[in-house]
Amino acid sequence: MESKKAATEEVIPTKTEMNVLQLLWQYGPSTVRFVHDKLNEQKEAVIYTSTLKLMQTMKEKGMLYRDESSMKHVYTAALKEAQVKGSLLDRFMDSMYNGSPSSLMVALLGNDKTSAEELRRMKDLLNQIK
């Protein structure tokens, strides 16, 4: 059931496609209606047919699988969360921080959005690496 496109080339989701993938990663296999309703909870009204077309296009791109065995088509993420996020992080780090993980970490550590708890978790992770 694996898409040839997804297997042979890196797929970079758009922001809207990432919203759909995030929901499928969080909730698992879902109908278009479920995804549509969750998207509407997160932001301004989205038209159902737009969500349907988006998910159909994502299937064609190899980002989603569609189970057509019942009346309601159920979609599943074909892409692995860690792989997509890792790819996006690498691209971001390359373009914004010249590929330097330490420059990215310095920016994160100095960011006022980084909570004390997140800083503690980063410190623990660094200690585990030693």
Q: Is residue 95 part of a domain?
A: no
| Same domain flag for 67 and 34 | yes
Under the banding of pLDDT at 50, 70 and 90, the label for residue 9 is: low
Report whether 29 contacts 76 (CB < 8 A).
yes
Segments in 62-115 forming alpha helices (H): 81-97, 101-109
Amino acid at position 110, single letter: G
86 domain residue, yes or no: no
Beta 74-77 vs 30-31: how paired, if at all?
A: antiparallel
Give yes or no for residue 5 having a pLDDT over 70.
no
Q: Domain check: are 106 and 76 in the same one?
A: no
- Give a yes or no: residue 37 inside a domain: yes
**What pLDDT digit, counting tens, does each position of 23-57 carry?**
999 999 999 999 999 999 987 788 999 999 999 99
pLDDT score of 61 more than 90: yes
pLDDT beyond 90 at 111: no
- Let me know if residue 91 belongs to a domain: no
Residue 9 resides in a domain:
yes
What pLDDT score does 3 carry? 44
CA 17/CA 84 separation, integer angstroms: 12
* Sign of the dihedral defined by the CA atoms of residues 16, 39, 65, 76, in that order: positive
pLDDT at 4 over 70: no
CATH (domain of 13) = 1.10.10.10
Range of the structural domain that residue 111 is part of: 100-130
> Both 104 and 72 in a single domain?
no
DSSP 31: E
